[in-house]
């Protein structure tokens, strides 16, 4: 059974959450799904993945960050003003609040079993950092995760600061999506501490599964290799998917799974089952 919730944050923002396997809440481990840049909880593979893990006995929390650009609608970027104001620090703050809400019973009485987290792309970076901070998270899986949040050239940064914003095209919707200079300032202020993914991976010391497509053009597989190089090899696995890209050949709207994505799900499932029991 799926059930939707809205979490009102300390900053009076709304985080829209979909839970999968609600019937498993009182007995099962919880999995947190963290979407990436220009991502959202109802994009492509996320609902299918939520139902998949619910069918395997997990309780799943999938959510939209308050400033990911998606408002009350399920799949439309109707809040580009908020998207422009988003920062990495805000996402981590909200992820922290969602974990607290789960532990404090917002969704109902939970099992207090170990928590697992799954992050895709930029969300993989969020997941790594939060997992290095929160002892309640026992197992981490990243799909096509970034190894660095500072992804802009010096020239881009100069133009960004000069104009007060940076624009990116959403090729799916043809929307030009603006990023305010506050995001750049967040990167520069916190890149050696809070937003340092290398530091997080070094300090993680808990089971980590890194999955990456060998033909990923958005986040090259070298970033997965970087994360692996920083991690504790005794508890880390690196699974490369041949001949596939950033979303493992899944598109939006969702048109069904495929053998490559099936292997991603099975590998992820086995890792969570092994380390969350």
| 3-state secondary structure (DSSP) of residue 178 | strand
Assess if residue 251 is contained within a domain.
yes
pTM: 0.98
Assess if residue 168 is contained within a domain.
no
Assess if residue 230 is contained within a domain.
yes
Report the number of distinct structural domains present in the chain.
1
Give percent of the chain above pLDDT 70.
Answer: 100
Assess if residue 171 is contained within a domain.
no
Domain of 130 in residue numbering reads as: 3-150+192-276
Q: Which pLDDT band, with edges at 50, 70 and 90, does 277 fall under?
A: confident
Indicate which CATH number applies to the domain containing 47. Answer: 3.40.50.1820
Assess if residue 170 is contained within a domain.
no
Calpha distance 234→76 (Å, rounded): 42
| 3-state secondary structure (DSSP) of residue 157 | helix
Assess if residue 253 is contained within a domain.
yes
Q: Which pLDDT band, with edges at 50, 70 and 90, does 198 fall under?
A: very high
Q: Are 107 and 25 in contact (CB under 8 A)?
A: yes
Q: Look-up: residue for tokens 């709207």?
A: 253
Q: Are 43 and 13 in contact (CB under 8 A)?
A: no
| 3-state secondary structure (DSSP) of residue 2 | coil
Convert the pLDDT of each residue in 139-153 to its tens digit: 999 999 999 999 999
Q: Are 32 and 99 in contact (CB under 8 A)?
A: yes
Assess if residue 157 is contained within a domain.
no
């Amino acid at each position: 059974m799926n059930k939707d919730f809205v979490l009102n944050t300390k900053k009076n923002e709304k985080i829209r959450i979909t839970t999968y396997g609600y019937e498993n809440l009182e007995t099962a481990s919880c999995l947190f799904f963290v979407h990436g840049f220009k991502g959202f909880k109802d994009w492509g593979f996320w609902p299918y993945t939520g139902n998949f893990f619910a069918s395997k006995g997990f309780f799943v929390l999938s959510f939209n960050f308050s400033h990911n650009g998606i408002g009350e609608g399920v799949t439309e970027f109707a809040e580009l003003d908020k998207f422009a104001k988003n920062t990495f620090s805000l996402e981590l703050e909200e992820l922290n609040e969602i974990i607290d809400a789960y532990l404090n019973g917002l969704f109902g009485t939970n099992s207090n079993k170990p928590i697992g987290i799954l992050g895709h792309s930029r969300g993989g970076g969020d997941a790594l950092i939060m997992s290095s901070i929160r002892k309640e998270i026992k197992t981490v899986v990243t799909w096509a995760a970034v190894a660095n949040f500072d992804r802009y050239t010096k020239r881009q940064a100069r133009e960004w600061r000069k104009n007060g914003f940076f624009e990116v095209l959403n090729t799916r919707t043809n929307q030009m999506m603006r990023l305010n200079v506050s995001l750049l300032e967040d990167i520069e202020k916190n890149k050696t501490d809070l937003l340092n993914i290398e530091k997080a991976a070094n300090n993680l010391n808990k089971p980590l599964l890194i999955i990456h497509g060998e033909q990923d053009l958005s986040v090259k597989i070298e970033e997965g290799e970087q994360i692996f190089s920083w991690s504790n090899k005794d508890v880390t696995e690196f699974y490369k998917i041949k001949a596939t890209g950033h979303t493992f050949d899944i598109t939006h709207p969702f048109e069904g799974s495929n053998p490559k994505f099936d292997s991603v799900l099975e590998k992820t499932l086995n890792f969570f089952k092994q380390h969350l029991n």
